[in-house]
Amino acid sequence: MRVTLGPSILTADFLHLERAVHEAESAGVDFLHLDIMDGQFVPNITFGPFVVAALRKTTPLPLDVHLMVQTPEKHIASFIDAGADGITVHAEACQHLHGVLMSIRTTGAAAGVAINPGTAPESVAEVLHVADQLLVMSVNPGFGGQSFLPTSISKITRSRELIEQSGAQVIIAVDGGVKPSNVGKVVAAGASMIVAGSAIYSPEVTVAEGVHALLAGIDAVVAQTGGQQ
Ligand code: DX5
Ligand code: ZN
């Protein structure tokens, strides 16, 4: 399976968001990752459906909406209406996770389940058959620019083994602190959807440099493993 890469726009220049998106698009990303935070489930507050709808008008890239909110089931319709192609909810925020994922799928959008660093992949084993992606958080959610938690690598491997045993068709996404220095290990462990924010939107690099460095890290490990993910 081809490994895909999408920037989280959280650390992009929000005064020039259209430019930030188009630079990532030109650099060759596969999707946009939109971090929605409510100040309840996580300490930070970001943006809502209006910004997603504005982005929908500026790019054909798939919009991967990451709901870091309490009671995400209340917000699915508004983000679908805004143009989301995929919605990921946190297992820790759902009382009826199976039902929430099913409700996302019935809209035609991809359904994702995210697990925080403190949540075991085994805890979502029963919903793998109604999920399209398992998002393994490699930082505690709430902010961009955090350091990758090294324990995430073994967790990605365990998640892949769990998915293989279940026979479910679920891709593993990883989000938080991913950099050119660790993306190879993340992919080798079993991730095929990579989210990166501050590795792409940062004063240290241009967007193109950030994207290309990550793609080089991905390509290197895919070449070593003969493309087997
Ligand atoms: C954190 C978000 C991530 C974050 C990624 O709560 O879900 O998407 O913005 O940014 P970096 O790659 O800088 O950790
Ligand atoms: Zn995210």
The residue whose CA is least distant from atom 3 of ligand 1 is 176
Question: pLDDT at position 163, please?
Answer: 98
| Residues noted as catalytic | 35, 175
For residue 180 and ligand 1, the question of a CB distance below 6 A is answered with no
Instruction: Give the Å distance between the CA of 57 and the centre of ligand 1.
Output: 23
- Which residue blocks in the chain are alpha helix, DSSP H? 17-27, 49-56, 76-82, 97-105, 152-166, 183-189, 207-224
- The predicted structure's pLDDT at residue 91: 98
Residue 114 Cβ inside 6 Å of ligand 1? The answer reads: no
Identify the segments of the chain with pLDDT beneath 50: 229
Residue 82's pLDDT is what? Answer: 98
Residue 227 has a pLDDT of: 60
